[in-house]
Structure 1
Amino acid sequence: MSSRDWVAHAIARIEADFHRSADTHLIPVNLPAFPGIDFYLKDESSHPTGSLKHRLARSLFLYALCNGKLHEKSTVIEASSGSTAVSEAYFARLLGLPFIAVMPATTSPEKISAIEFYGGRCHLVPDPTQIYAESERLALETDGHFMDQFTYAERATDWRSNNNIAESIFHQMEREPHPIPSWVVTSPGTGGTTATIGRYVRYQRHATQVLCVDPQYSVFYDYYVNRNPAITLDCGSGIEGIGRPRVEASFIPEVVDEMLKVPDALSLAAMHYLASVLGRRVGGSTGTNLVGALHIALRMKQQGQTGSIVGILCDGGERYVHSYYNDEWLATRGLDLAPLIEQVKTCAEQAVPLSPLQSARHDKPQYF
C-alpha cells in the first residue's frame, strides 16, 4: 500500500467511526432559584472515550493526516493531563499506530489505565511545565509526530459547521423555550472549544455571549486581562483537564465575552453538588462550569432577565474516584468541602450569592 493510499484508508476508518457514533445529550438541570432561566449541560462524557476530548482527538488526527504529518509507521506523541491522551490512544489504536502520552506524574490512575487499555504508553513527568519539551524530545527520538493539542486545537476543528460542539448545541436547543442561549459557559484546557464556540456564534450572528471560566492555577484569566503572552506559572492546575501554566496558542481571547477565576475548592464543591443533583458523578471541570453558570444566572436574575445558559459536562467522575471523590485525598490537601457545597446549594436553590469571584469583561477586572 502506498503512503497516499494508507492516508486515504486511515481517514476512511476515522470517518466510519464517526458515523457509528451518536451525538451527545443535552441535559436540562433544574436550578430552583432561577425561574425563567434555563440551564443545560452538554454531556460530552457519552463519547466512546468518555470526554469532550474525543471530538478534539478526531479533529487532530484528521488534521495531521491531511497535512501529511502521519504515515503508517508513525509514533504518535501527545502532551496531555489525561483525557486528550485517552481519546488519542483510541484513534491511534484504530489506525494501528503506537501512542505515547506525556503526562504530569499527578494524573489520575484511572486515566492512565484508560490510556493503557487502548494500547497507549504513559510517560510521566514530575514537572508538569516540562511536558511540552519532553514530548518534542520523544518525537525526535522515535521519529514520531507530536500532535501538540495546545497549538492545533483551534485550527484543527471546523468551527463553521461539520457537527462541531457549537453546531450540535444550537441544533439541540431549537425546541427549547429559549432556543438561542444567552450564554455558553466553557473552561479552557487548550482553549480550542472556547474558540470554536466563540467563532461559531459570531459566524451565525447569534447574540449569545461566551463566558470562559479559568481554574485557580492557570494563566488564561491573567492573559485575558493584560494580554501578556509571556506569563507563566511554576505549577500545574489543580483541576485536571483545564487550566495551563503558560498561554497556549489555541486560546483566542478576542472571542471571549467575559472570564471568571474560580478557586479549586469551589469548583470541587460545585462538582459534588451537581453529582447529587444528577445522580451520577462528574469531573472537576464540570464543577468549574457550574460556578460560571451560577455567576451568570445571579446577574440575569438581578437584572430581571430570562433566557438559557448552556455549560459543558466535560467528563464523568469515575476518573476521579481516588482523588476528588476520596475524603482522605481531600483531607490530606486541607480541603473541607462541606461548607462550600452548602454555599453552592444555597446559591442554586435560594439565589444566595457565592463568595466574590474575580471577573473580567473587555479587559476591565470586576468583582461580584
Structure 2
Amino acid sequence: MDECARWPQELQDVDRSDEELRCWVAERVRRLEADGRRSADTHLLPLQLPAEWGIQLYLKDESTHFSGSLKHRLARSLFLYHLVNGHLRPGMPVIEASSGSTAVSEAHVARQLDIPFVAVVPHGTSARKIALIEAAGGTCHQVDGAAGLGREAQRLADECGGLFVDQFTYAERATDWRGNNSIAVSALAQLALEPHPVPRWVVVGAGTGGTSATFGRYLRYLRLPTGLCVADVENSAFFDGWVQGDASVTTSCGSRIEGIGRPQVEPSFVPGVVDRMIRVPDAASVAGARYLSQVLGRRVGASTGTNLIACAQLITQMRERGEEGSLLTLLCDPGDRYTDTYFDDTWVAEQGWDLVPWLDALQELLPLQGG
C-alpha cells in the first residue's frame, strides 16, 4: 500500500509526555537509590537474657541511619513514592507536619534532592528539635497547637504551590514491604543464623502505622507463625481503636512519648495485620529508655523504652508457659535528643512520673546484659 491504513474514525489522542520532567524525576530517584546504596544496613543487637530461659531478645538499631532514626527509611520511601506517582515536580517545596524525627529525616533527604523543605511545628517545640531540622537544611513554620498541624501543612502547600507529603496518610502505601528499603526484609534476614531465626514476636510502636504495616504484611507473605505486637502509649487512639474495631476513635490530647501514639487512628495504621496490642504507661516508657540506656552504655529514646516494656511483658508470659524463642524489636532513635526531657529528673518529676517502681520491675523481670 502507498499509505498507512486509516482508522474508521479519528481517535482522541492527547500526548502530555514531558522529557524534561522525566529527566528531573529520574535524577532524583537515582539520588535516592544512591543514598540507599551508600547506607550500610543497621545492626541487629542481641541483648543477653539468662541462658536457662531459652529466650533471645534482639534490637534492630535504627539510630545509626544518617539522619539518626527509624524515620530515615520512611523519609526516603515517601519522597520516592511522590516522585514516581507524579506528585512532586520541579520547583515544588515539600511540606510536612512534624516536629520530630520524621522532619529531621525528611529535611536530610530533601537537601540531597535539592528540594526546599518546610516542617510545620507547634509553638513550644524545643529549640534542640528545631536546630536539628534547620541543620539538615529545613525551615520550621510554627503554629499554635499541635492538633491542626496537618491542616496548616496542607494550607501552606496550597498557598505556595508545594506538596504536603503527609506521612500519616502515605506511610503504609509508600513503603515497599517486600523489598526496597524494607526494615522487615532486613531484620528477618539478619536473624537467619540465630538460635531461633523465626521470632515468636516482633514488637513495634505506632506513629504513622507504616512500620507495623510493613512487618505485618511481610510476616503473612512469608507464612510465618510470628506474632506482631504493637506497643501503644497513653493518650493514643491506636489501642482503643484496634480493640473496639473503630477507626473513628480519638483522644483529647496528644502523646507525650515522641514518635509514637496519635490522638486519632491514622490512615496508615492497618489493624488487620496486628495480632496483639499492649498499652504502656508513659512512666514505664521513660523507665524502659533509662534502663536500656544503662545496659547499652548510650542513651535511647522513650519510644524504644515503650518497645522494651512490651517485650518484657511478652517474655514474662513466655516464661510462665515454658516457651522458648526469640523476640525482635526496634531501637528507634538516640536518647541524646531528649537530654532536656526524658533524661532530666526535674522535667520527669514535673510530668508526675515515678520511674522507680518500673525500674525495679525491669531489673527483676528483664535482667539484661549488652550484646
Who is 1:193 aligned against?
211
Contact 1:80–1:103 under 8 Å retained in 2: yes
Who is 1:279 aligned against?
297
Contact 1:322–1:329 under 8 Å retained in 2: yes
- Partner SS state of residue 162, structure 1: coil
Who is 1:361 aligned against?
none
Paired residue type of 1:28? P
Contact 1:217–1:243 under 8 Å retained in 2: yes
Structure 2 Cα separation of the partners of residues 229 and 270 of structure 1: 29
Aligned pairs for 1:189-268 within 5 A: 189-268=207-286
**Cα drift, residue 208 of structure 1:** 0.7
**Cα drift, residue 155 of structure 1:** 0.4
Contact 2:168–2:266 under 8 Å retained in 1: yes
- Partner SS state of residue 309, structure 1: strand
Q: Does the alignment pair 1:13 with 2:44?
A: no
The runs of 5 or more residues in structure 1 that have no matched partner are 351-368
Who is 1:83 aligned against?
101
Structure 1 Cα separation of the partners of residues 353 and 90 of structure 2: 48
C-alpha change, 1:8 and 1:332, in structure 2 (3 Å) is same
Percent pairwise identity: 55
Q: Does the alignment pair 1:331 with 2:349?
A: yes
Deviations 1:256-285 (A, max 9, x none): 000011110011011100101111100000
Contact 2:216–2:274 under 8 Å retained in 1: yes
Who is 1:293 aligned against?
311
Residues 229-238 or 36-45, more deviating: 229-238
Structure 1 Cα separation of the partners of residues 139 and 52 of structure 2: 46
The TM-score, its normalising length taken from structure 1, stands at 0.92
**Cα drift, residue 124 of structure 1:** 2.7
Who is 1:357 aligned against?
none
Who is 1:119 aligned against?
137
- Partner SS state of residue 217, structure 1: coil
Deviations 1:126-152 (A, max 9, x none): 321111111111111111000000010
**Cα drift, residue 162 of structure 1:** 2.3
Q: Does the alignment pair 1:150 with 2:175?
A: no
Structure 1 Cα separation of the partners of residues 114 and 323 of structure 2: 52
Structure 2 Cα separation of the partners of residues 27 and 99 of structure 1: 33
Who is 1:57 aligned against?
75
Who is 1:340 aligned against?
358
Structure 1 Cα separation of the partners of residues 119 and 133 of structure 2: 8
Structure 1 Cα separation of the partners of residues 126 and 210 of structure 2: 23
Who is 2:13 aligned against?
none
Q: Let me know the Cα RMSD of the aligned residues.
A: 1.4
Who is 2:14 aligned against?
none
Aligned pairs for 1:21-32 within 5 A: 21-32=39-50
Q: 1:160 aligns with which of 178, 183, 189?
A: 178
**Cα drift, residue 125 of structure 1:** 3.2
**Cα drift, residue 332 of structure 1:** 2.0
Structure 2 Cα separation of the partners of residues 312 and 157 of structure 1: 17
Greater gyration radius = 2
Structure 1 Cα separation of the partners of residues 51 and 128 of structure 2: 36
Deviations 1:10-55 (A, max 9, x none): 1111111111110000000123387211000000000000000000
Paired residue type of 1:334? G
- Partner SS state of residue 328, structure 1: helix
Q: 1:174 aligns with which of 169, 183, 192?
A: 192
**Cα drift, residue 107 of structure 1:** 3.8
Q: Does the alignment pair 1:131 with 2:149?
A: yes
**Cα drift, residue 338 of structure 1:** 2.5
Who is 2:367 aligned against?
349
Paired residue type of 2:346? E
**Cα drift, residue 106 of structure 1:** 4.7
Aligned pairs for 1:90-105 within 5 A: 90-105=108-123
Structure 2 Cα separation of the partners of residues 3 and 255 of structure 1: 38
Deviations 1:266-308 (A, max 9, x none): 1101110010111110000000000110111011111110000
Structure 1 Cα separation of the partners of residues 302 and 309 of structure 2: 11
The runs of 5 or more residues in structure 2 that have no matched partner are 1-18
- Partner SS state of residue 349, structure 1: coil
**Cα drift, residue 163 of structure 1:** 4.2
Paired residue type of 1:118? A
Deviations 1:295-325 (A, max 9, x none): 1101111111000000100000011011001
